[in-house]
Structure 1
Amino acid sequence: MASDMGPSDSSTPPIQNPFVFDGGDISIRVTYHNKLVVGKVCSQALIRASPVWKKFLNPPWAKEDSTVEVKEIDCSEDNGEALLILFEIAHLNFRAVPRGIYYDVLFQLAILIDEYQCIQLVSLWVEHWMVNEKAESIVRGQEGWLFIAWVFGRENIFEGVSKLLVYTVKVIEKGEFWTLDENTPIPELMTNGLVESIRDKRLNIIERLLKIPYDIIDRYEVKPYKGCSVSQASPFEKKTCDTITYGSITLGLQRAGLWPRRQPKDVLLSVEALAKEIKDVKIFETSMPTATFPKLVLSHHDCIGRNIRLAVWGILVGLKSPVLHSHRTHMAAQKEALL
């Protein structure tokens, strides 16, 4: 975040610096509301709060060189709002700690807690911050809940968001995962092995989805399918059904960019979008006039279309979790640390 050191508007009263704490003996540089702020924090409060801050304030080489003294910490790359919450807790200013936090700040707070290894510091507030986690974690554009769940040990949320990503991420030509609605890359702070696991699960589902229409086409190319459910016993009508169904499926796939046949690795669509393209393939109607019904129109959609929809649904509801055992072990440890 860029610092703004320009002159202040003299007509606007100066904002009190929230990063000046009682007993402050170390200078701190922070970016807060797009401005570089220099505050004062208590070194002992930071040492008690985080092993990372403790090591920074008491570096190993200081034991050998007594002249080494840390006078300033530069946290200007950290999110100022999230950092202020941690400092308020570390300095025991509990009344200043918000009981509710918006997603953006909670995501940044999770990043800092992970970076500074201070999960125990926030144990009294986590349940308040997570009160709407089930609803908030499935909001499109808030995929950072995956990392929030990772840091705060929320295994059920982690599982749900991971499955949602398998279902919704698309791939751009460079091979990067992008969110479906926001057209932005998914958060870079992905946990060990999860990206690969999501990719594997996504490719597996895409392969199974493609197999549905491709297997149907294979049956027609080998021999007439004879699956018509509306044309009685007339061989001519059954052939008509075969022709209409075969043509409808191949043309529908062609319009979706799935025909000629595509390999799963070449499909850039999300699982969600691919399933819709296959499920919505329209089987066209035929006109079969008779003496009794001169304008009779027969729909052959249920001859094969219903089977397609059911097969797609069966694959989607059976989506396997990409969460690995190592992820569950980590979150169990995080949850334990909050007790």
Structure 2
Amino acid sequence: MDTFSWSHTELDFYTFDPQGDVLLKLFRRYEKEELNEPDSETSSITAEEEDPDTFPGSDNVSTQETPTMDIDPLNDAATASDAGQSVAFLNQPVHMRVSSRHLMLASPVFAAMLDRYKFKEGATLHAEGRVEIELPDDDPDAFAILLNVVHGHTRMVPRKVSVNTLTQIAVLVNKYHMLEVLEVFSDLWIRRLSKKGLPDSYDIYRQEVMSWLFISWVFEKPKIFKPMTRLMIQRAPHSLLEHDLEFDPPIPDTLLDVIKERRMEAIDSLLSVIDTLINKYITEEYQCAPVDSTSDPIELAYSFACDSMFLGSLIKASARIGIWPLPEKPFGGIAFDTLAGQIREMDLKSKCDGNLKGYYIKHACHGVRAHIVESVKALERGICGLDLKDFKKFGPG
């Protein structure tokens, strides 16, 4: 029998278990101008909303009353610079009544938290029969979906979610180690979302790429993880150190460090193709020898002029695309695939291009241009994504 109740004058109060002994206290963050706008994402994942007229001890307080927005000067009145103007944010309380038994069965993290001998939350629960837990960093809409699954309200669980919502759910699954309990639904969501196609551009879809990388890591989807990591290695135009996304999924540094290193190795291999050629043509050894004899001063002078023309065009073409002098790691602003295309399109010249005294040079620049193109293609083919199995020891378990 329910022997206690929580007062809930908040706009959002959800009951997942009417006899629940845990009150989770979260916040939904709004920009001021968003307060009067309907939240379509939230409406699709609504939990079982509490009826205040039947909830024990509710004193018939209606949730339809205009809510009070509590402003915490440290957390709630956050501002963000937007075109030189400040945008204020407000936090709306969202409370959820849940069962400790369900939480502990679904999550080893909650099992430890609510153990009477380990943490104060558990001690309070066992001493008083109830406990309130503040989770200010957790997304309430994603948590509502997760709690509906945990408490067996499967009809309340959406069959479709957006990539953003799935990312927020993945954050919670990873944080509270709840992969197994959600796996049936996550497989359904991922299958439906991936049918629409995965992002194929890092510049345009950077937020989606990072989200899909995190989703595939948390939910153990190697067929998504590998192409996403390959895309980042091949097309990321920076060192991945920037954190300027609207939402940065908590991707492990260990994983990002490997992606960064593979990206730098790939770019370094491209640069080595050019650097090796430049060093080869700088030496005293003649690369141009279109005739049998090299003892004739005129022929030697011609070979020197031909080598010099090619070397000059190679250096100028390299400087034009920003790789001479050779850039240093982490190669900020350089994407592997962009650089590969630029190198293939270099405008290179040699004195021997065309006919020379009865000899015909079949390949421009003594075949060096073809060598560059083939070397670049080989490097492109050699870029592979990462294997998920090498990183799952850092996962949710």
Q: What is the aligned-residue identity percentage?
A: 22
Kept in 2, the 8 Å contact 1:163–1:321? The answer is yes
Kept in 2, the 8 Å contact 1:201–1:322? The answer is no
Residue 215 (str. 1) matches residue 282 (str. 2): no
Kept in 1, the 8 Å contact 2:211–2:249? The answer is no
Residue 20 (str. 1) matches residue 15 (str. 2): yes
Equivalent residue for 2:311? 246
Change (3 A) 1:123 1:267: closer
Please, which runs of 5 or more residues in structure 2 have no aligned partner? 1-8, 31-91, 291-297, 356-362
Equivalent residue for 2:94? 37
Kept in 2, the 8 Å contact 1:20–1:39? The answer is yes
Within 5 Å, which residues of 2 pair with 1:171-250?
171=238, 177-178=241-242, 184=245, 187=248, 189-191=250-252, 193-222=254-283, 223-226=285-288, 241-250=306-315
Please, which runs of 5 or more residues in structure 1 have no aligned partner? 1-13, 229-233, 291-298, 335-339
Within 5 Å, which residues of 2 pair with 1:268-287?
268=332, 269-283=334-348
Change (3 A) 1:192 1:261: closer
Question: Does the residue aligned with 1:27 lie in a helix, a strand or coil?
Answer: strand
Within 5 Å, which residues of 2 pair with 1:1-339?
17=12, 19-23=14-18, 24-32=20-28, 34=30, 35-60=92-117, 67=127, 70-131=130-191, 132-133=193-194, 135-136=197-198, 138=200, 140-141=205-206, 142=208, 143-171=210-238, 177-178=241-242, 184=245, 187=248, 189-191=250-252, 193-222=254-283, 223-226=285-288, 241-263=306-328, 265=329, 267-268=331-332, 269-283=334-348, 300=364, 303-323=367-387, 326-327=390-391
Structure-1 separation of matches of 2:302 and 2:247: 51
Q: Deviations over 1:211-233 (max 9, x none)?
A: 111222222222332288xxxxx
Kept in 2, the 8 Å contact 1:26–1:40? The answer is yes
Say how many residue pairs are matched. 301
Change (3 A) 1:184 1:302: farther
Question: Does the residue aligned with 2:340 lie in a helix, a strand or coil?
Answer: helix
Structure-2 separation of matches of 1:54 and 1:261: 55
Question: Does the residue aligned with 1:315 lie in a helix, a strand or coil?
Answer: helix
Structure-1 separation of matches of 2:147 and 2:123: 30
Change (3 A) 1:136 1:36: farther
Question: Does the residue aligned with 2:15 lie in a helix, a strand or coil?
Answer: coil
Kept in 1, the 8 Å contact 2:25–2:94? The answer is yes
Kept in 1, the 8 Å contact 2:26–2:95? The answer is yes
Structure-1 separation of matches of 2:257 and 2:169: 26
Q: Deviations over 1:263-318 (max 9, x none)?
A: 4x25222222332332232225989999xxxxxxxx94784333212211110111
Kept in 1, the 8 Å contact 2:264–2:330? The answer is no
Kept in 1, the 8 Å contact 2:217–2:392? The answer is no
Structure-2 separation of matches of 1:53 and 1:266: 41
Kept in 1, the 8 Å contact 2:230–2:385? The answer is yes
- TM-score of the superposition, structure 1-length normalised? 0.74
Change (3 A) 1:224 1:306: same
Instruction: Compute the displacement of 1:48 (Å).
Output: 2.7
Structure-1 separation of matches of 2:247 and 2:236: 8
Change (3 A) 1:33 1:72: same
Kept in 2, the 8 Å contact 1:194–1:322? The answer is no
Give the AA of the match of 1:36.
Answer: P
Point out the more displaced range, 137-146 or 103-112: 137-146
Structure-2 separation of matches of 1:316 and 1:276: 10
Kept in 1, the 8 Å contact 2:171–2:249? The answer is no
Instruction: Compute the displacement of 1:97 (Å).
Output: 0.7
